[in-house]
A and B are shown apart, each in its own frame.
Chain A
Amino acid sequence: MDYFLSEEQEMIVETAREITDERIIPARAELDEKHEFPRAILNEMAQADLFAVPIPEEYGGFGGGCIDNVLALEQLGRGCVGVGTAFAASALGIYPILIAGSDEMKSKYLPDVASGAKFAAFGLTEANAGSDASGIRTTAVPDGDEWVINGTKQWITNGGEAQIYTIVAITDRSRGARGASMFVVEEGDAGFTCGPKEKKMGIRASSTTELIFKDCRIPKDRLIGRLGTGFITVMKTLDSSRPGIAALGLGLAQGALDEAASYAKQRVQFGKPIISFQAVQHLLADMAIQLEAARALVYGAARHIDAHPKDMTKVSSMCKVFATDVAMKVAVDAVQVMGGYGFMSEYPVEKMMRDAKILQIYEGTNQIQRNVIGQELNKEYSRS
């Protein structure tokens, strides 16, 4: 379907497609098998200005919005959600600075992320704070001209690979939701280390580690925005980033459909290519219908979000849930169409099915997203 992309948007798609087809797809199986961080590919993406897409022009970026980021991520997701996640997590890591940081902070960090000279990461989750962010134990205590941070973040994407980390810490437990603040921690800050890489079911090209803070001292000016606005910044960050996860889902579903359909054309059983059998056609048709519906929702949501509407949270959650549930279903069905071959790691749909699962879990599980949508609906209908 034609989504009436602008000339600049077509350029973004073309660039991301080229990186995906020429660099990611040939490398993805090996990256997955070796749990290898795709530094060389990310450097090429940086050189092609893809990291610059969501960053304003005054900070060396391309000045794109949510839709532009979605278009890039969709292509990357078609190749490998592991690589796409490493890329997306860098944008996620700088959203708090973009949303709440001072001009000085933006000037300090954004140009290096736009050029790809530095990667970023976002640290919210802890052992007891996943879906329930109020369980955060990491603390930041002022001491002279510094903040002293203690605690451990868990499952942080780009951990150990990023140079810039935006993290959430409690600055005043008595103030509840207004007692959390966000900070920038840099690689090499005294008292800050990353744990070993986690072993995962999928997205193995991405790095996932703990962030460990032991009397980590950072300068006062690393506070992002005002004291106590951490949770608000987190919510706004996730509102902006969730459509990107939805886009990875679109890409994955497209990749799985492409694999399944071309296999079904070649595979001959009972003297005919299996695509001529209605049972297979219906599987493929449902995959295509759901994918196109998801794409229409994600693009629509991303464009809506770029207008900074009041119902951004609801729309952002809706597109994340729908597109990632579709990605999971399409990946499972792609394996089904390909039968035994689909189950073998020699064919890419096996990895796609493993990769798809995380999309329904990270950046807010799809159950939490439904809670959010439900609560927003509750508010909307109380007003009328």
Chain B
Amino acid sequence: MKIIVCVKQVPDAKDVRLDPKTNTLAREGVQSIMNPYDQHALEEAVRLKDELGAEVTVLTMGPPQAEDVLRQSIACGADHGVLVSDRAFAGADTWATSYTLAQAIDFLGGADLVLCGKQAIDGDTAQVGPGLAMRLDMPFITCIQKVREADASGLVAERMMDDGYDVVAVDYPVLLTVVKDLNTPRVPSLKGKMRAKKAQFQVLSAADIGADPSLIGLAGSPTQVVRVFPPKPRGERTVLTGDMDEQVSELARRLNAYLQ
């Protein structure tokens, strides 16, 4: 069984700043981490590997320093890491990114199971997973909160919904995007860290994966960021005090005043 986990290196959310000139995220001097949702996707892949026996490949698109998340993945139990890296990929939106990742997965010979985090905490679009599945012509289930059972031919999983969850049974190949309820990512082991230290990663360029230059990077990205700005602070908030009757009358009084 072949599992591919797509991960993204993102700025640590504890330390987010905007570049006032370009209105994009200031990445210089900001600590990078593996997108937290992707950590859960990776954990599930390693858990399935422990249970069923599988080959886990971690795939990331990014600059050379994105190798850090591949190294972290090896420490957490992944078998291989692949870095899709080329200056031509720069400026990719979710459309171009999902195309690029799909090309890379095809180049790697496909997979039975592709796992992605629900979304990345920098862009928060939640589009790459589904987009990637469409490009791979693979069924997908988003927001997986639990994999109930899995074997060599398919799995049964819970999809988180607003009012509960769906239980979905699916055969491979399939792409899942996952939420944080799925599992608790393990602490990387010492032996894993030793393996990670020595790990070598396959680096794929646009030419390697046979990417159409018009579909990658900025050129292949229909999204244009017009302006990024911090949201306006919320208005003043008042906490009502007193016993329940007093609070309700006060609330009714204020609502009436507002309605008139």
Contact = CB atoms under 8 A, between A and B. Distances in A.
B187 A18 contact: yes
Interface string B173-198: 00000000000001111111110010
A50 interface: yes
A11 B187 contact: no
Contacts of A47: 186-187, 189
Contacts of A7: 197
A63 to B, nearest CB: 10
A62 interface: yes
Contact of B190 (A22, A23, A44, A49): A49
Interface in B142-194: 186-194
Interface string A88-100: 0000000000000
Contact of A22 (B187, B191, B193, B197): B187
Contacts of B197: 7
A23 B189 CA distance: 15
Interface string B233-253: 000000000000000000000
Interface residues of B, number: 10
Q: Which of B187, B191, B197 has the most CB of A within 10 A?
A: B187
Contacts of A11: 190, 193-194
A15 B188 contact: yes
Interface in A37-76: 44, 47-50, 52-53, 62
B187 A15 contact: yes
A15 B193 CA distance: 9
Contacts of B191: 49, 52, 62
A19 interface: yes
B187 A44 contact: yes
A44 B193 contact: no
Contacts of A62: 190-191
A230 to B, nearest CB: 33
Interface string A1-34: 0000001100110010011001100000000000
A50 B186 contact: no
Nearest to B191: A49
Contacts of A19: 187
B186 A49 contact: no
B117 to A, nearest CB: 19
A212 B211 CA distance: 71
A53 B189 CA distance: 11
Interface residues of A, number: 17
B189 A12 contact: no
Interface string A231-274: 00000000000000000000000000000000000000000000
A47 B75 CA distance: 12
Contacts of B192: 49
A11 B187 CA distance: 12
A15 B190 contact: yes
Interface in A135-167: none
Contacts of B186: 44, 47-48
A47 B187 CA distance: 8
A53 B193 CA distance: 13
A39 to B, nearest CB: 15
Q: Which of A8, A15, A44, A50 has the most CB of B within 10 A?
A: A15
Contacts of A44: 186-187
A22 B190 CA distance: 17
A47 B192 CA distance: 10
Contacts of A52: 190-191
A19 B186 CA distance: 9
A53 B190 contact: yes
Nearest to B192: A49
A254 B247 CA distance: 47
A12 B188 CA distance: 11
A144 B186 CA distance: 49
B45 to A, nearest CB: 16
A12 B192 CA distance: 12
Q: Which of A8, A11, A62 has the most CB of B within 10 A?
A: A11
Contacts of B193: 11, 15
Q: Which of B186, B189, B197 has the most CB of A within 10 A?
A: B189
Nearest to A46: B189
A49 B186 CA distance: 12
Interface in B15-46: none
Nearest to B185: A22
A70 to B, nearest CB: 15
A3 B189 CA distance: 23
A123 B190 CA distance: 29
A48 B190 CA distance: 6
Nearest to B197: A7
A48 B192 CA distance: 8
A49 B194 CA distance: 11
A358 to B, nearest CB: 27
B116 to A, nearest CB: 24
A87 B205 CA distance: 47
Nearest to A64: B190
Interface in B59-108: none
A69 to B, nearest CB: 12
Given A15-B189, A22-B187, A52-B191, 16 more contacts: A8-B194, A11-B190, A11-B193, A11-B194, A12-B190, A15-B190, A18-B188, A19-B187, A23-B187, A44-B186, A44-B187, A48-B186, A49-B189, A49-B190, A53-B190, A62-B190
* 3 nearest A-B pairs in the assembled complex, by CB-CB distance: A49-B190, A49-B189, A48-B187
29 contacts: A7-B197, A8-B194, A11-B190, A11-B193, A12-B190, A15-B187, A15-B188, A15-B189, A15-B190, A15-B193, A18-B188, A19-B187, A22-B187, A23-B187, A44-B186, A47-B186, A47-B187, A47-B189, A48-B186, A48-B188, A48-B190, A49-B189, A49-B190, A49-B191, A49-B192, A50-B190, A52-B190, A52-B191, A62-B191
